[in-house]
Amino acid sequence: MSKFNFHRVYFIGIGGIGMSALARYFTFLGKPVAGYDKTSSPLTLELEDLRIDIHYKDELTLIPEPFLNAEDTLVVYTPAVPKDLKEWIYFRDKGFTVKKRSEVLGIITNDTFCFAVAGTHGKTTTSSILAHLLKETGTPLTAFLGGISEDFNSNFVWEGNEFSVVEADEFDRSFLQLRPDVACITSMDADHLDIYGDEEALKKSFRDFAANLKPNGKLFVRNGLPVQGITYGIDDNSDYCIKNIKIEHGTYIFDLGTPETVLKGVKFNKPGRHNLLNGLVAFAMAIQAGPPLDRLAEALESFKGVRRRFSYKIKADNLIFIDDYAHHPTEIDAVFDAIKEMHPDTKILTVFQPHLYSRTRDFLNDFAKSLSRFDSILLLDIYPAREKPIPGVSSQQLLKLIQNPMKKLVAKQDLAKEIKAQKPQVLVTMGAGDIGLEVESLKQALEYEN
DSSP 131-195: HHHHHHTT--EEEEEEEEETTTTEEEEES-SSEEEEEE--GGGGGGG---SEEEE----S--HHH
123 is in an annotated binding site: yes
125 is in an annotated binding site: yes
18 is in an annotated binding site: no
How far separated are the first and last CA of the chain, in Å rounded? 51
Compute the half-sphere exposure of residue 395: CA atoms within 13 Å on the CB side of its CA: 20
- Strands (E) across 223-295 are located at 230-234, 240-248, 251-257, 262-268
124 is in an annotated binding site: yes
Number of Cβ within 10 Å of residue 127's Cβ equals 31
Strand bridging mode 141-149 / 154-158 = antiparallel
* H/E segment holding residue 75: strand 73-77
119 is in an annotated binding site: yes
Tell me the residue type at 138: G
Distance CA 351, CA 251 (A): 26
Whole-number CA gyration radius for the chain:
22
Strand bridging mode 113-118 / 251-257 = unpaired
Q: Which residues are annotated as a binding site?
A: 119-125
Q: Which residues are annotated as a binding site for ATP?
A: 119-125
